[in-house]
Amino acid sequence: MDSIQQLQAAEKALSPIFSGIDAQVKQNLKRVLDAFRVHRVGVHHFAGVTGYGHDDLGRETLDRVFAEVMGAEAAAVRVQFVSGTHAIACALYGVLRPGDEMLAVAGPPYDTLEEVIGLRGSGQGSLMDFGVTYRQLPLANTGTIDWQALASAVTEKTRLALIQRSCGYSWRPSLSISDIEKIVKIIKGQNPQTVCFVDNCYGEFIEEREPPAVGADLIAGSLIKNPGGTIVPSGGYIAGRADLVEAAACRLTAPGIGSSGGATFDCNRLLMQGLFLAPQMVGEAMKGNHLTGYVFDKLGYPVNPPPMAPRRDVIQAIQLGTPEKLIAFCRAIQQHSPVGSYLDPVPAPMPGYESQLVMAGGTFIDGSTSEFSADGPLREPYIVFCQGGTHWTHVAIALEAAIEVIGKKD
């Protein structure tokens, strides 16, 4: 069976799942439309301001819309956030103080947070440099949350629990909303004052509720992932309890300024339109993930999540086994990207990452993993992580080439 026939068979097998994703997109889009209507979004909100960014009606309205969509008290959606990691770092620095403990409940954090916490590097003002202690709960042997350990893990010093929703570069199941709800209840049962903070990257609009709706105190993420709808040029967001959102905003700007500053540089329309498009874009990415997982599972490669399993983020991991196959896979994706198809991905160091990375991402927004990208660290067992996809048919076209160059598992 050639690559085209394999994909046709996958599309037929996945048809019921695709239909279910469309139904979920409709529910999430309704949630967004309801928020736009409640807050009376109009064309006058598209105008931006310059300078300090004071009295930006569009930005203030977007914050309220975003908070409602996320089920939160407040939100700060800002182009000044460089990345999701930057938004997460502002949230951590906003909440934590010297002597506090931060507890990671889902194993090790994503690579780019290691230097923020202080697990790598020194002298750059990490949390550990400022006297914040760190502890992490290893995952259970099954790769899931160690519920038994979590039941007694929180102490009176545990100021913040880090809940990383997506698997990141780990071979583990990403967390569902019901998982997050259970984690929050267990943590609050031990210490109601512990702030439950969710790294929400890659998870927005995967389900019909977001973490604040199930008790999370604070979340953060990137706008060049799910909630930017693939058209927002840069930025990130924080959402949750109003006091915690303001504390995080004070780390982005300065105490006394907080969420009141930050010019939007005529991006308000893109920010709002991106949020409107986000449910549909996430749905397409989920379909592309299912397709990728299905065909490479049939070729004999270990995949995470399994091909027919419900999606919990927009990442599909494939364990390719060799550096040559990892590079060849990324090369095939790059060659079928709309931008920079002539470029050849090669392993290289990347700021914030411990290992060399090979990355394919011919995207209109630089680094926009919601558009369609594939990357992986050059370390055993040589896993490629496929993310995003503005329409699943683009993913299918790229997969035809990837199947041809990778072939069946040896």
| pLDDT number for residue 369 | 86
| pLDDT number for residue 381 | 93
Sequence-separated (6 or more) residues with CB below 8 Å from residue 68: 34, 35, 38, 39
**CA-to-CA separations, 398 to 257, 349, 405, in angstroms, rounded:** 46, 25, 11
| pLDDT number for residue 410 | 82
| pLDDT number for residue 110 | 87
Torsion of CA 58, 60, 63, 65, to 10 degrees: -60
Q: What are phi and psi of 203, to 5 degrees?
A: -105, -10
3-27+276-406: CATH topology is Aspartate Aminotransferase, domain 1 (3.90.1150)
| pLDDT number for residue 353 | 72
Sequence-separated (6 or more) residues with CB below 8 Å from residue 257: 250
Tens-binned pLDDT, residue by residue, of the chain (410 aa): 788 899 999 999 999 999 999 999 999 999 999 999 999 999 999 998 999 999 899 999 999 999 999 999 999 999 999 999 999 999 999 999 999 999 999 999 988 899 999 999 888 999 999 999 999 999 999 889 999 999 999 999 999 999 999 988 888 999 999 999 999 999 999 999 999 999 999 999 999 999 999 999 999 999 999 999 999 999 999 999 999 999 999 999 999 999 999 999 999 999 999 999 999 999 999 999 999 999 999 999 999 999 999 999 999 999 999 999 999 999 999 999 999 999 999 988 877 677 788 999 899 999 898 899 999 988 899 999 999 999 999 999 999 999 999 999 98
CB atoms closer than 10 angstroms to residue 15: 10
E strands along 150-259, which residues? 158-164, 195-199, 218-222, 236-240
**CA-to-CA separations, 39 to 32, 56, 219, 263, in angstroms, rounded:** 11, 15, 22, 21
Domain range list for the chain: 3-27+276-406, 43-272
| pLDDT number for residue 1 | 72
- Of 118, 205, 135, which is closest to residue 165 (Cα–Cα)? 205
43-272: CATH topology is Aspartate Aminotransferase; domain 2 (3.40.640)
The angle at the Cα of 167, spanning 162 to 172, to the nearest 5 degrees, equals: 110
For the entire predicted model, the pTM comes to: 0.95
- Residue 38 token pair: 């409640």
CB atoms closer than 10 angstroms to residue 124: 9
| pLDDT number for residue 348 | 85
- Residue 332 token pair: 């095939």
